[in-house]
Structure 1
Amino acid sequence: MTLLVLACLAQVTLLTVAAWALPVLARPTLPFGVRVPAGRVADPAITARRLRYSRTVVTLGVLAALGSAPAVVLAGTPDVLTTIAALLCAADIALYAAAHRAIRAAKRHGDWYAGTRQAVTADTTWRTHPVRPPWPLLIPSLTLLAGTTAIGLTRYSSLPDTLATLRGLGIDTHHRVATTPGTAFAPVLSQTAITILVPVLVAALIRARPETDAEHPANSARRYRIYLRGIATLLLAGAACADLTLLLLALQQWNILTPSPLTTAVTWAPMAAIAAALLIFGVRVGEAGHRLPALPGESGSGYVQRDDDPYWHLAGTIYINRHDPAILVHQRLGSRWTLNLGNPVAWTVLAVFASLALLQLLGIIDLPPTS
């Protein structure tokens, strides 16, 4: 029970810190997902809303932490963790959406773009001199996949009739499933999916529309290149970390390692390391590289980035622009990319994933399970 309470408190802390950090790590010209001119980033309406949001998020986190311990004790099951996390996430999302609406209203009423010259910029060297991902970082993932497969093939014939279930942060020895190629090699299938999909994702991000600023075109293009190269490196390294975690989970499922709290900690240490690396990178470099310093000679253009708020919806998370040929665009919330739902190709991609999910739901196909 003590471990369950500690897990719940850790979960509340992580969610609160993540929600608090969203506006802190965001680009100054995109407070709460609203595009504003650089001259307005310190407007009282923005600073007041930031302060109010931060205080309320921290207050909710403290209340959730105080209430979670009694809730866990009364419930006595891990299911309460999911409920508390869902309620806290919903509250934080509501706060963020309220801040987004408030700043957008202040921008509209104050006519913040009056007297500015709006423009967009394009880096013509992006196609001729693209960012080169560090593809050699795929070697550890491929090695781990091959090693896990070899161990599984060697071990399969001596496995018992039932296997412990892969569940969440480790192995559930109390719930067992029949030994079949699908259950025994589930970690290998997950490794295969990660090893294939992550490089595909990196290649897609490299070809996505660059996030440049018309006010500082040269500076923003250079910073975005550094940012994108770092993201590609972390994604490929993260694939290796995920494959290592899956290997350790497989060794426990195949009765080579004994499940224990120490084993679980070691198993998830690679994922914790890559999560810490992503956090440090985000703090030092910033979204789209906006925290990187400018170089001498990278002066402003006299323009401001075009106000493209009409194309962004749900607090800057959904992008719909039929006149933009880009398929992937950098999201306004966090270091992520999103599909341009104004492009027919994006709907084709979504249709493929929806079809796969439907086929799995109907039992026609069996996708690799997630750990």
Structure 2
Amino acid sequence: MNAVLVSLLVNFATLLILGAVLYAAPSPLLNPKAVPFGVRVPPDKADSPEVGEQRRRYRALLAPIAVVITLASLVLGAVLNSAVVGAVAALLLCAAAGALWLSAHRALARAKEQGNWYEHVRQGAVMDTSLRTDPVRLPWLWVVPSLVVLAATAAAGAFAYPDLPATMSLPERTTNGTAYRDVTTTFWSAFSLVFVQLGVTVTVLGTVAAVLRARPDLDVSRPRTSVAQHRRYLALTARALLGVGALLNLMLLGLSGMMWGDSRSGTVLSLVVGVPLLVAVVGSLLVVLRAAPSGGRTMIGATPGAEAEENTGLVARDDDRHWRAAGTMYVNSDDPAILVPKRVGMGWTVNVANPRFLIGSGVVLVLGLAATVVSLTVGFG
């Protein structure tokens, strides 16, 4: 199988998966049911004709667009023999889905305003202090696989380092596929991916710690039940993130082995990169199937009939004024939370108006610029 055919198959598979995810995006399985297209609505309006119409319109227009973009990508990719075609096609598909999403968002916002959907409902909020006094603990046992792979990579590198050649080959993505670049063998280049592993491990640990302390999205109509479900959801999410971190470290172990052994096999590279990523994607999908966002289908661990037993009669407050970009960006300087539940997709997003987030982002930006200046200065010196 030649490189052109492999590239075409990879592009086709990528666009197929991306198209399927974007097509399913409005589903309550992937988004809170009470926030269709990023618009907060009362629970009794979540299945209203207006919402159903926008979902049907979004999918009816996206499906033919996805087919046309995919076919055009295959044809142009074969003619031009360039990997850039697949990337451009993916960006075009995302842009088309974003435009359709924005159109649906605006239509539902108008329908909610014109119909006064919140006029006859009791709005409220709920919090649970036990999530602070007795938080879900970080599952340290799930950190062990990442540390073991990291240690194994460092040990293998220490064993191979004395016998490494003067130069090593590093794979890199180019417009024509994968190419290899020769670099001088030094301690830093030989162990570069080990340092990346360390960065991945620390980043995943920090992310899990932040998620466990993030503000929960509790159901005001059944607070006790939703708190119990949220705890189970946090535990599952933490284990999933740490598992993905271990898989990334495993992929970096394979890439390090290829670099130290001067292997340029496309098949080996595909296995080293593809298998861990495939397992990570499948694992993430299983998490999605087991635990839907709050307000969607029943979450993991829910007790049948619990919702009927506990009902406060309240609905979540209409907070659309704090959300921008069709429900994808949260902007509220009065909210002390840095991480808040997403409206679009699962997980959390940042409060971009939070002073602590702005200060932290500024520090990271300054450090990044300083590191770039130092590296350029050393390089030219």
Question: TM-score by structure 2 length?
Answer: 0.90
Higher mean Cα deviation, 25-34 or 255-264? 255-264
Counterpart among 189, 193, 197 of residue 191 in structure 1: 197
| Equivalence for 1:148 | 153
Query: Any residues of structure 2 matched to 1:3-14 within 5 Å, and which?
Result: 3-14=6-17
- Give the C-alpha shift of residue 323 in structure 1: 2.2
| Residues 1:155 and 1:365: Cα distance change in structure 2 (over 3 Å) | farther
Query: Is contact 2:19–2:66 with CA below 8 Å preserved after alignment?
Result: yes
Query: Any residues of structure 2 matched to 1:220-369 within 5 Å, and which?
Result: 220-255=226-261, 259-288=265-294, 290-291=296-297, 292=299, 293-298=302-307, 299-364=310-375
1:181-200 alpha-carbon deviations (Å, 9 max, x no partner): 33222210110001111111
Q: Distance in 2 between matches of 1:35 and 1:302?
A: 17
Query: Is contact 1:227–1:289 with CA below 8 Å preserved after alignment?
Result: no
Q: Distance in 2 between matches of 1:107 and 1:289?
A: 18
The answer on 1:97 being equivalent to 2:102 is yes
- Give the C-alpha shift of residue 124 in structure 1: 2.1
1:81-124 alpha-carbon deviations (Å, 9 max, x no partner): 22112212111111111111111111111111011110000012
| Equivalence for 1:19 | 22
- Give the C-alpha shift of residue 248 in structure 1: 0.5
Structure 2: which amino acid aligns with 1:307?
Answer: D
Higher mean Cα deviation, 357-366 or 158-167? 357-366
Q: Distance in 1 between matches of 2:113 and 2:173?
A: 46
Residue 132 of structure 1 aligns to a residue whose secondary structure is: coil
| Residues 1:309 and 1:16: Cα distance change in structure 2 (over 3 Å) | same
- Give the C-alpha shift of residue 43 in structure 1: 1.1
| Residues 1:289 and 1:156: Cα distance change in structure 2 (over 3 Å) | farther
Q: Distance in 2 between matches of 1:261 and 1:158?
A: 25
| Equivalence for 2:54 | 49
Query: Is contact 2:38–2:105 with CA below 8 Å preserved after alignment?
Result: yes
Residue 136 of structure 2 aligns to a residue whose secondary structure is: coil
| Residues 1:18 and 1:297: Cα distance change in structure 2 (over 3 Å) | closer
Q: Distance in 1 between matches of 2:77 and 2:39?
A: 38
- Give the C-alpha shift of residue 262 in structure 1: 4.5
1:41-76 alpha-carbon deviations (Å, 9 max, x no partner): 111111010011112222111111211111102221
Query: Any residues of structure 2 matched to 1:39-78 within 5 Å, and which?
Result: 39-78=44-83
Q: Distance in 2 between matches of 1:261 and 1:344?
A: 48
| Equivalence for 1:212 | 218
Residue 165 of structure 1 aligns to a residue whose secondary structure is: strand
Structure 2: which amino acid aligns with 1:165?
Answer: L
Structure 2: which amino acid aligns with 1:271?
Answer: L
| Residues 1:357 and 1:80: Cα distance change in structure 2 (over 3 Å) | farther
Q: Distance in 2 between matches of 1:307 and 1:191?
A: 43
Query: Is contact 1:226–1:289 with CA below 8 Å preserved after alignment?
Result: no
1:274-311 alpha-carbon deviations (Å, 9 max, x no partner): 21111121123112484324444442111110001101
Q: Distance in 1 between matches of 2:18 and 2:306?
A: 41
| Residues 1:98 and 1:360: Cα distance change in structure 2 (over 3 Å) | farther
| Equivalence for 1:121 | 126
The answer on 1:174 being equivalent to 2:180 is yes
Q: Distance in 2 between matches of 1:288 and 1:41?
A: 13
Structure 2: which amino acid aligns with 1:308?
Answer: D
Q: Distance in 2 between matches of 1:297 and 1:288?
A: 15
Structure 2: which amino acid aligns with 1:57?
Answer: L
| Equivalence for 1:107 | 112
- Give the C-alpha shift of residue 249 in structure 1: 0.7
Q: Distance in 2 between matches of 1:332 and 1:198?
A: 22
Structure 2: runs of 5+ lacking an equivalent: none
Higher mean Cα deviation, 4-13 or 237-246? 4-13
- Give the C-alpha shift of residue 349 in structure 1: 1.8
| Residues 1:197 and 1:307: Cα distance change in structure 2 (over 3 Å) | same
Query: Is contact 1:214–1:301 with CA below 8 Å preserved after alignment?
Result: yes
| Residues 1:18 and 1:359: Cα distance change in structure 2 (over 3 Å) | farther
Q: Distance in 2 between matches of 1:57 and 1:356?
A: 41
Counterpart among 197, 203, 213 of residue 209 in structure 2: 203
> Matched residue pairs, number?
365
Q: Distance in 2 between matches of 1:200 and 1:94?
A: 34
Structure 2: which amino acid aligns with 1:27?
Answer: P
Query: Is contact 2:219–2:294 with CA below 8 Å preserved after alignment?
Result: no
Determine what percentage of the aligned residue pairs are the same residue. 35
Query: Is contact 1:156–1:184 with CA below 8 Å preserved after alignment?
Result: yes
| Residues 1:287 and 1:356: Cα distance change in structure 2 (over 3 Å) | farther
Higher mean Cα deviation, 356-365 or 134-143? 356-365
